[in-house]
Chain A
Amino acid sequence: MHPAISVIFFTVTSGAGFGLIALTGLGFPFGGGALSVFLFCLLGGGLAVAGLIASTFHLGHPERAWRAFSQWRSSWLSREGVAAVATLSLFAIYALIWMMTGDRLLWLGLIVAAGAAYTVFATSMIYAQLKTVPQWRSRWTPAVYLAFSLASGWLLAAGFGDLPGAGIWGAVLLALAWGIKLMWWRRAADARLAGSASSPESATGLGFIGKVRLLERPHTGANYLTREMVHQIGRKHAGILRRLAVLFGAIVPLMVSATVWLTAAPEWVLLAAALSLFAGLFAERWLFFAEAEHSVSLYYGNR
């Protein structure tokens, strides 16, 4: 699949934003005054909103994006939109009350946290629902999105907040997320299109005669389908990108977290871990798209 930068940016950024929002709603300790509460909440909301805005860049008609709120009964994309806006609105109320009165309403915070988790889950289901992309269609896909959202949100919350020992928990959450991602990668290696129930034979129904091979594409040039779904250029550097993802997404932030914990360095150093994790997640998401194989490739002589 074609890795669209706007969609990669969206899943990484709004994932972190909603992770931070969820942790705030759950009462992550934060000691500053009204202004720092404002800036802290603005960071969570801002990341989530920035991601959502970026996601409209890949639309043909961004000015009609509001229409996407209507089909929540059948569409995960619509559910994601509805959940995102509802969560952000409630979070704004939560933040306002917190700033004005200093009170953090637990019940409202819990609803916000649940909404944020559901939003990230809905994002992941946009991909996990697709039968056409066997590597995505797995329970591990929502697990990966949720785990990375929590880990990146935690590193941000820990960097700004006041939770002693938050660094070690950041390391634990990060290790957990990468454990899940390794399971996802292992499963994806076994869930190639070539090993699925679909083949050039099932795509054409001609398997009863013999082995099927594409002789000629319908047109000599590329088309929307070959650019979007039979995309292969993005896979060229898969090996190095995977190493970069692990280096910046796992090794560097784990070392930073461990150092903060062991040396009692100030917690804001954890923000360096968060930034490094973002870089790693960009590589991880790029591969999520670029390495995914769509069944339409079978009609174009590729996998």
Chain B
Amino acid sequence: MTCLPTSTEKRLGLVIDLDTCVGCHACVVNCKEWNTGGYGAPLADIDAYGEEPSGAWLNRVHTFEVTPVAAPAQIVHFPKSCLHCDDAPCVTVCPTGASYKRSEDGIVLVDEDMCIGCGLCAWACPYGAREMDPVAKVMKKCTLCVDRIYNEEIPEIDRIPACVRTCPSSARHFGDFNDPESNVSILTMARGGYDLMPEMATRPVNKYLPPRPKTNPAAQGCASHSTPTVSAPGGFLGWLDAALERLG
């Protein structure tokens, strides 16, 4: 049913820490690995080893350059997967009922047997979180590893989404945003977690933690970050510097 639930018991989702993500793409690879053998059709690639490889991925890491007014540019690696929005526009546009949001935990899923592959849900998602599988011709998206998190066949430590499990820098956290005591709620509170494109009124569940402020060289007494001045060295180097100065 493509009407959205008015509220969900749990609001499961991710916190993504842009301060600690190093852009290694491990989450991207592990997501692909898990989801190609798990829920639904395999995540296909076309021409994987050829001239123009292209395929369906549920999680991708973009890299942005951010330039402050008076400081050097900084690089921010930016992982992006479905944000499991409370007001998910991708669900309400779906003509078949294939797209739905679960009332028990808020996960947004696609029933691949019902999907006609019209692509309208991907048009409705502002974030580019849905991709059509090039072989199965059905819509693929992050399932929050619904086949891991409740899976009693695997060790308890693995019952979290594959991306979270694999991240070597702990930039991804999984939990219930309805529980104020959960790790994700506490992190969001403590670090000022925010929504992507709030103007789209999708009310995403996933939150992003901003990069912590960089130490600003200008504020530390350097004249300018673009022409660093070198203070006169002491000791042997100072003597050498002075000696060469006299020769020159």
Contact = CB atoms under 8 A, between A and B. Distances in A.
B92 interface: yes
B22 interface: no
B64 A215 contact: yes
A234 to B, nearest CB: 15
B interface SS class: loop
Contact of A214 (B57, B64, B115): B64
A291 to B, nearest CB: 15
Interface string A256-285: 000000000000000000000000000000
Interface in B196-211: 196-201, 208, 210-211
Nearest to B18: A206
B34 interface: no
Given A224-B122, A225-B128, A67 B114 contact: yes
Interface stretch (B47-55, B165-173, B227-235, B240-248): B47-55
Contact of B66 (A197, A209, A296): A209
A204 B89 CA distance: 19
A74 B124 contact: no
Interface residues of A, number: 59
Bin chain B's interface residue count.
35 or more
A211 B54 CA distance: 30
Nearest to B76: A206
Interface stretch (B7-15, B130-138, B150-158, B183-191): B130-138
B93 A197 contact: no
A74 B116 contact: no
A187 interface: no
A206 B64 contact: yes
Of A71, A130, A221, the most chain B CB neighbours within 10 A belong to A71
B80 interface: yes
B66 A132 contact: no
A196 B65 CA distance: 21
B122 to A, nearest CB: 7
A146 to B, nearest CB: 21
Contacts of A70: 95-97
Contact of A77 (B62, B114, B115, B118): B118
A126 interface: yes
Contacts of B91: 74
Contacts of A69: 95
B222 interface: no
B188 to A, nearest CB: 13
Contacts of B69: 210
Nearest to A4: B119
B52 A222 contact: yes
B62 A294 contact: no
A163 to B, nearest CB: 38
Nearest to B132: A224
A202 interface: yes
Contacts of B95: 67-71, 75, 77-78, 81
Interface of B: 1-4, 18, 28, 52-57, 60-69, 71, 73-76, 78, 80, 89, 91-98, 114-120, 122-128, 131-132, 134, 136-138, 194-201, 208, 210-211
Q: What 4 pairs across the A-B complex have the smallest Cβ distances?
A: A60-B117, A60-B137, A218-B60, A296-B128
15 contacts: A1-B123, A64-B116, A67-B116, A77-B93, A77-B94, A131-B126, A202-B196, A202-B198, A206-B210, A209-B68, A209-B211, A216-B63, A224-B56, A224-B134, A229-B122
Given A71-B1, A73-B2, 14 more contacts: A59-B117, A60-B137, A62-B116, A67-B114, A74-B92, A132-B124, A202-B197, A204-B196, A210-B71, A210-B73, A213-B65, A215-B65, A221-B53, A228-B122
